[in-house]
Chains A and B, each alone.
Chain A
């Protein structure tokens, strides 16, 4: 009967799946990693406990996803969906009337030029992160937090003075004039093309 055949077929499939799971489990438990754990357990229960605590802490950080606890991180760099956008906000740095070009600097030096600008622009977000989440979580854990240790104020004049000196060191150029803007670029015809809309750095963090 087709019904009986169907049941027999299904149970055969089920047994096959169980078998595959069983074989996989056996392979996993006889893997080098489990052998290591067994050897470690024989050698030192204390060390085994420490290794297992480390593994559990790492799994915990993965499961709660979002917050990390040094040295347990999530290594998901560039794993979220990133699409080609039509517009990008780009920092432009001009020194003595000439624009700084990425090709003239090593990756590390180029990062040194751009990162402080990104951090300055990120002050508001950073303060917001503290106000909305960090403070709340610390309070929940009954850990008193001092706002001054987590908050920064946007003082453009101070930042400009500091960045000017800093840039002088990074580029080895004496600075007579310098300007930074945050310009909108359109991506079309396979190129980033400049647009007239730009925000001066002084307006980014207010």
Chain B
């Protein structure tokens, strides 16, 4: 939240003026309401939306401290607010909607008030994360990127073209040009990233390598940040699912005592 505020990524700092359509059936339903149009050039609307969205964890905390019944209700409210806010936010010039997937799915985990449900949803999210990363590797085979030696050089030029053209004297520009002019080295990075992504498939068979997968995710995020200048940190909540996967299914004996989470 602090990082978003400092980088000017709250809605009131983005000051939406225009939007672009995208091919998402759910987004069209939100667009049909006209909410995204209402928010254009509407400073009060931005502040209201930011307050709603960023106060949801506090609402949940309040419910958690107050009453068991309220916890699920607070999580449902959080789910609805997150879905609506993120749909509108990503229609404006901000970032891609896929990066917000943790904001969209974690409220399901927070809805659980029993230990067993929590355990199962946590694991469902873990499998989703494994699928998310593994499928990114599979797409590279399906769409052919992995079979193109020029791939990473092409990506780097496409991704950084404005940076490279505007800052020809920077060390980062020299570094990117160095990689672009050596397609085998840059392709090796692309291939390594794909193999790393593909290694997440092991998570479907065993939980023993989850710590390796946490490490791989962190390496992946750091590299993404440095090499592509894409901050993808909002998916980090999924790492929690890998860290906590070591805990086994709550047994019936202990279950009676620890059944209720709140």
State which residues 61-100 of A face B: CB under 8 Å: 62, 66-71, 73-85, 88, 90-92, 99-100
Give the complex CA separation of A79 and B153 in angstroms. Answer: 13
Which of A4-12, A13-21, A25-33 participates in binding chain B? A25-33
A108 on the interface (CB 8 Å rule)?
Answer: yes
Q: Mark A38-75, 1 if CB is under 8 A from B, else 0.
A: 01100110010001001000100010001111110111
**Chain B: minimal CB distance from A62 (Å):** 8
Return chain B residues, CB-CB under 8 Å to A163.
17
* Contacts A32-B203, A39-B120, A75-B139 supplied; 16 other A-B pairs, CB < 8 Å: A71-B104, A73-B101, A79-B145, A81-B147, A82-B145, A84-B154, A102-B160, A107-B225, A119-B18, A120-B18, A123-B20, A130-B21, A143-B29, A163-B17, A187-B157, A194-B165
Place the interface of chain B in its size category. 35 or more
- Asked if residues B97 and A73 are in contact (CB atoms below 8 Å), the reply is yes
Taking a contact as CB atoms closer than 8 A, the residue among A118, A126, A145, A192 that contacts B165 in the complex is A192
A185 on the interface (CB 8 Å rule)?
Answer: yes
- Asked if residues A77 and B161 are in contact (CB atoms below 8 Å), the reply is no
- Asked if residues A146 and B157 are in contact (CB atoms below 8 Å), the reply is no
Q: Mark A175-206, 1 if CB is under 8 A from B, else 0.
A: 00000000001010011101000000000000
B26 on the interface (CB 8 Å rule)?
Answer: yes
- Asked if residues A81 and B143 are in contact (CB atoms below 8 Å), the reply is yes
- Asked if residues B15 and A166 are in contact (CB atoms below 8 Å), the reply is yes
Give the complex CA separation of A40 and B117 in angstroms. Answer: 9
- Asked if residues A149 and B34 are in contact (CB atoms below 8 Å), the reply is yes
State which residues 113-151 of B face A: CB under 8 Å: 116-117, 120-121, 123-124, 127, 131-133, 135-136, 139-140, 142-148, 150-151
Taking a contact as CB atoms closer than 8 A, the residue among A85, A103, A137, A170 that contacts B167 in the complex is A103
B254 on the interface (CB 8 Å rule)?
Answer: no
Return chain A residues, CB-CB under 8 Å to B183.
84
- Asked if residues B166 and A166 are in contact (CB atoms below 8 Å), the reply is no
B231 on the interface (CB 8 Å rule)?
Answer: yes
Return chain B residues, CB-CB under 8 Å to A76.
135-136, 139-140, 142-143
A40 and chain B: residue at smallest CB distance: B120
B23 and chain A: residue at smallest CB distance: A67
- Asked if residues A31 and B205 are in contact (CB atoms below 8 Å), the reply is yes
Which of B44-52, B87-95, B212-220 participates in binding chain A? B87-95
- Asked if residues A190 and B180 are in contact (CB atoms below 8 Å), the reply is yes
- Given A75-B135, A91-B162, A162-B17, residue A149 in contact with residue B37 (CB < 8 A): yes
A173 on the interface (CB 8 Å rule)?
Answer: no
Return chain B residues, CB-CB under 8 Å to A152.
18-19
- Asked if residues B117 and A146 are in contact (CB atoms below 8 Å), the reply is no
